[in-house]
Amino acid sequence: MFTKQTIRDIDVHGKVVLLRADYNVPIEKGKITDDYRIKQSLPTIEYLLGRGAKLIICSHLGRPTGPNDTANSLFPVAKRLKELLKRDVEFVPDCVGDRAEKAAAKLQNGEVLLLENLRFHAEEEKNDEAFAKQLASLADVFVQDGFGVVHRAHASTEGVTHFLPSVAGLLLEKEVDTITNVMHKPDRPLAAIIGGAKIADKIDILHRFIELADFVAIGGAMANTFLVAEGIDVAQSLYDKADLPVAKDILRKARAEAKKRRFIFAIPRDGVVAHKVDKSVPTRIVDWSAHVIADIENYPHRPPTRASHILWQEMILDIGPFSGSFIAGGVQLANTVVWNGTMGVTETDGLQGPVGPYAHGTELVIEALLGQFGHKPFTVVGGGDTVGYIENRGLVPYFGHVSTGGGASLELMAGRKLPGVEALQDKK
C-alpha cells in the first residue's frame, strides 16, 4: 500500500506545481534512443494540466561535469515532450535564478516549462539547502514523480520538500505500489530472474529473493562469477574477482535455503561463447555441466572435449539453450516473476534480423514470460538495459509492470527506504 499523499489529494487549480521527473534518458548525438521514461511521465502531467495547474518540470540527465556540459542538456527532452503532449513546452536554459524565475512568473494555467538539467549545479547532488530553497521558490506545490531517482537524497528529491507541500505523482505511486506488493504479498510461486553485469549491484536483492522467492535464476555476466566460484574455468569471460567471496556466500545461503524448503537456485549449465564480441564472429555452445547437446550431436562418437570446455581465448556471452529452457520451465510454474538484467550481451545486433548472436537466452526467457509455452505469469521488469531491450523489441505492453527505475527499483525490492518517497506527506 502506498502511504503518501498524491496529486489526487490536493487542489492544483491555478497553482504553480514543481514536478520532479526522471528524464535521465539515453541520448546519442542529440537523439533520444529510448523515451520510455518520458512516456511514463505523461499521465501525471496530463492530470495536472487538465486541472489547471501551471507546470514547471525539472529533472537531471546523466552525470554532468559542469554547467556547460551540452551533451547532457535536457533540450532534446523538451522537444520530445512537446511531441508527446501535443502542447507547447517552453525550455528554460537554467533551473534556478533569473531566467527560471521570469519564466515561472509568466506561466498561465495549463502551460508547461521544462527547466535545464538540475545537475548543472553541483548543489543538487549535495542536497544543498539554499539551492533547494531557490528551486522551491519557483512554485506553490512540489510533486515527486521521478521514481528512478527517489533512492537519491538530492536537493530536488529531499531538500525541496522542506520548503513546499510535497506529494507523489501517479507514476511514483504505481511503481511503489506494484513493487512493494510483489515483495510483500506475491501471488506465489514467485520467481526471480536476475542478470546483468555485476553482482555488486545486486547483492541485496539476491539475498532478499533467496529468502522470499521459490525460484531464483542467474544469467548475464554476473553468472560468470558464480561459475568461477563453482570451479568452472570461464577463460576470457568477464567476471569480478573481488566478488568471488560474495558469490560463494550467496551460493551457500541458497543451498541452505533449499534444504529448508522447496527452493531452486539456478546458475547456467551451458553458455554461448565466442572469442570476440563481434556480430560477424562465429559462436558455439559450451555445455559444461549437463553434457546433453554435444552428446546428442556426436552420437555414436564421444563429443570432443571442447564441447564441455571454454577454450582459453573464448568468453561466455549468453546463457545456453539448456539453461534458457530450464529457466523457462521455472517460469511456467510461477505466478509472479521479477526480471532484472538480460541473460547475455543483448546490445550487439544480429547480422540477420533484430535478435543478436548473444540474445537468444534473453529471447527464450521473454517467450516464457509472455506465455508462449502456455502459462503467463504476472511480470515485473526492471533495469535500464532490460527495459531498453524490450522497448526496442516493441514488447513493453505485453509485460505486467515495466519499471522506469534501475537503482531505485532494486533498492525498493531489497527493502530499503527511499529518501525521495519518505520525504513526501503521509496520507491523512
Contacting Mg ion within 388-417 (CB under 5 A): 406
Question: Which residues touch 155 (CB under 8 Å, ≥6 apart)?
Answer: 118, 123, 124, 125, 126, 127, 128, 131, 132, 135
- Which lies closer to Mg ion via its Cβ, residue 220 or residue 357? 220
- Which lies closer to ligand 3PG via its Cβ, residue 63 or residue 416? 63
Residue 320 among the catalytic residues: no
Which residue type, as a one-letter code, is found at position 236?
A: Q
* Residue 90: strand, helix, or coil: strand
Which residue type, as a one-letter code, is found at position 210?
A: I
Neighbours of 31 (CB within 10 A): 9
- Which lies closer to ligand 3PG via its Cβ, residue 336 or residue 342? 342
- Which lies closer to ligand 3PG via its Cβ, residue 268 or residue 420? 420
* Furthest CA-CA distance within the chain: 82
- Shortest distance (Å) from residue 326 CB to ligand 3PG: 31
Total residue length of the chain: 428
All cell numbers assigned to 363 = 529471447
Of the candidates 376, 378, 358, the residue with the CA atom closest to the CA atom of residue 367: 376
* Residue 388: strand, helix, or coil: helix
Pick one of Mg ion, ligand 3PG, none as the site partner of residue 159 (Cβ within 5 to 8 A by kind). Answer: none
Pick one of Mg ion, ligand 3PG, none as the site partner of residue 24 (Cβ within 5 to 8 A by kind). Answer: ligand 3PG
Pick one of ligand 3PG, Mg ion, none as the site partner of residue 117 (Cβ within 5 to 8 A by kind). Answer: none
User: One of 4, 15, 37, 376 is an active-site residue; which one?
Assistant: 37
Of the candidates 39, 106, 32, the residue with the CA atom closest to the CA atom of residue 74: 32
User: Residue 38, CB half-sphere, CA atoms under 13 Å: how many?
Assistant: 21
Q: Are 36 and 404 in contact (CB under 8 A)?
A: yes
Residue 66 among the catalytic residues: no
Residues facing residue 340 across a β-bridge: 194, 382
- In the set 407, 414, 415, 425, which binds ligand 3PG (CB under 6 A)? 407
* Contact code string over 52-91 relative to ligand 3PG, x by CB under 6 A: -----------x----------------------------
Q: How far apart are CA 410 and CA 194, in angstroms?
A: 11
- Shortest distance (Å) from residue 125 CB to ligand 3PG: 8
Contacting Mg ion within 69-98 (CB under 5 A): none
Residue 82 among the catalytic residues: no
- In the set 4, 152, 202, 376, which binds ligand 3PG (CB under 6 A)? 152
Residue 15 among the catalytic residues: no
> Cα–Cα–Cα angle for 175, 177, 179, nearest 5°?
65
Q: How far apart are CA 19 and CA 265, in angstroms?
A: 42
- In the set 15, 16, 20, 24, which binds ligand 3PG (CB under 6 A)? 24
- Shortest distance (Å) from residue 142 CB to ligand 3PG: 18
Does 144 contact ligand 3PG by CB under 6 A? no
Does 196 contact ligand 3PG by CB under 6 A? no
DSSP 271: E
User: One of 384, 405, 406, 420 is an active-site residue; which one?
Assistant: 384
Pick one of Mg ion, ligand 3PG, none as the site partner of residue 63 (Cβ within 5 to 8 A by kind). Answer: ligand 3PG
- Which lies closer to ligand 3PG via its Cβ, residue 63 or residue 184? 63
All cell numbers assigned to 390 = 524490450
Q: How far apart are CA 280 and CA 27, in angstroms?
A: 27
Catalytic residues: 37, 198, 384, 407
Kindly list the residues in this chain that would bind ligand 3PG in the complex (CB under 6 A): 22, 24, 63, 148-149, 152, 406-407
